[in-house]
Structure 1
């Protein structure tokens, strides 16, 4: 379903999934080349409700929904038809200071009564995700040069086990807060150029692996309480500066463990951090 309003060279368009039965999983594929995106739990009955405000548009987004083998596949795609060259794309990234500089705005609301498999692709811009109170089995995020802020602001754990939480950014930043509440078995964070800030506000109850790779940039990791068993393996070059707190024990080969570390601990957190050029700071 689509509703279009045009006001002062801006198009407001609404997309809504009209199926509420006949499936057990919602596969959301959201792919936009530019804009500021907010994703959160909504109040409506629809599993996916997207509001957009678009400017300078040559083509409208395409939206589809289909139920196959008890899975709802829903997709929104908005491609770049403005023929922006690389220089212009970089100028958006390097010199934009307000949300309006990215032309488009996207608000996605989801319903806590449905299980989600999220595949999100952002081009240029910013993305704000608050997955509090949303059951998510997978969350895959990719961006060209969009900054990503991921949070569980309500500090309520994901009600299902998440298989994989993955964020891949070409140029930009990741600010991830309270991600211990994601309930993810595996976390992958990879940035070619930029910064990664990871904040684990509380201990976890099961074993998880966290992989962070940065080509050039900074990694900042804030660990949970001291009684959480964890091991941190740092892979770095002479062009990477590391700051390790004194309460961690150095066991050699740039590997550090917490006071309560046990190799067979049921709630062991294993961190692998790989930075070629830049810095690693652990708090």
Structure 2
């Protein structure tokens, strides 16, 4: 199912580009007063595309074609200590917020006609906090300098990641994803240069795809409730250690070639404790499924 989400998310690019005209709603003009953009997005029920656009000289440009009888967009920004804090809210008039994910799940409505496109550029550093209720989102981080990204899905299907051979120009301190009921596919994770990856799953599904050899250390901390976590690893070249905290009600599957060096601690053939590109996992699973597989 997660691979179907990947295909669906990638097709969102085509769908949005096929729309007759997106209206420019909000813009942050470039200024020497700030070098970092801290962008917060909360979308109750829309389809969203975020990507870097080289032709856009503005650090943030937002387009959309919402049904304004149902969606109430609002935007604000301010500069503090060389950071531009920007907040976009795409709330339904009838929405009471994200406090009760179960209520959102049973009250889903069709939002196929609501599209938003957020353009970043290459000149600033970005901190992203993206919250999606329903719909689809494609978060393409290629070309932008992302210091931190946090993505939360109520019941949305989200694809986030990088195009092949396009690494984050700067180190990322934290890559955070949370899936309550929705699905999140994080592709080409090795290109994020994230020092820390945090994954929290309620009843949803998350795929972390490390599809090539890492160049730097990365620590992955995952908590799985009743959902599913799938992790894709390169078969050779990346030293990996996995620590599992499980329960009798969960299922854990480790890829072939790993050795259990002590109870619930697994290492692969490339493992070295002091390796410069060590990929380490701490996974706590209660009722769900965790699966480690190879990319090929």
TM-score by length of 1: 0.87
Paired residues, what number? 269
- Which residue of 30, 33, 48 corresponds with 1:37? 48
Deviations 1:127-147 (A, max 9, x none): 211101110011111232222
Assess if the C-alpha contact under 8 Å between 1:227 and 1:259 holds in 2: no
Query: Using the alignment, how far apart are the partners of 2:101 and 2:127 within structure 1?
Result: 32
Deviation of 1:256 after TM superposition, in Å, equals: 0.8
Displacement, 1:77?
1.6
- Aligned position for 1:75: 87
C-alpha separation between the residues in 2 aligned to 1:229 and 1:154? 21
| 72-81 or 31-40: bigger deviation | 72-81
Q: What corresponds to 2:104 in structure 1? A: 89
**Matched residues in 2 for 1:243 and 1:266: separation?**
26
Q: Is the 8 A contact 1:235 1:254 kept in 2?
A: yes
- Runs of 5+ consecutive residues of structure 1 not aligned to the other structure: 1-9
Going from structure 1 to structure 2, the CA distance change for 1:157 and 1:239 (only over 3 Å counts) comes to same
Which runs of no fewer than 5 residues in structure 2 stay unpaired? Answer: 1-20
Give the drift of 1:170. 1.6
2:61, 2:209 → 1: CA distance? 29
In 1, the alpha carbon distance for the partners of 2:206 and 2:95 equals: 30
Q: 1:28 to 1:237 in 2, by over 3 A?
A: same
Name the SS of the counterpart of 1:90 in structure 2: helix
Does 2:161 match 1:151? yes
Deviation >4 Å, runs of 4+ = 10-13, 83-88
Residue 38 of structure 2: aligned partner: 27
**Where does 1:119-158 land on structure 2 (aligned, <5 Å)?**
119-158=129-168
Tell me the distance in 1 between the aligned counterparts of 2:101 and 2:195. 37
SS at match of 1:156: coil
Listed as ranges, the matches of 1:49-64 within 5 Å are 49-55=61-67, 57-58=69-70, 60-64=72-76
Do structure 1's residue 106 and structure 2's residue 116 form an aligned pair?
Answer: yes
Which residue of structure 1 lines up, in the alignment, with residue 27 of structure 2?
16
Tell me the distance in 1 between the aligned counterparts of 2:253 and 2:179: 24
- Which residue, out of 241, 251, 256, partners 2:251? 241
Q: 2:275 aligns with which of 254, 258, 265?
A: 265
* SS of 2:56 mapped into structure 1: coil
When residues 83 and 109 of structure 1 are mapped into structure 2, their CA distance, relative to the original with a 3 A threshold, is closer
Task: Tell me by how many angstroms 1:87 deviates.
Answer: 7.7
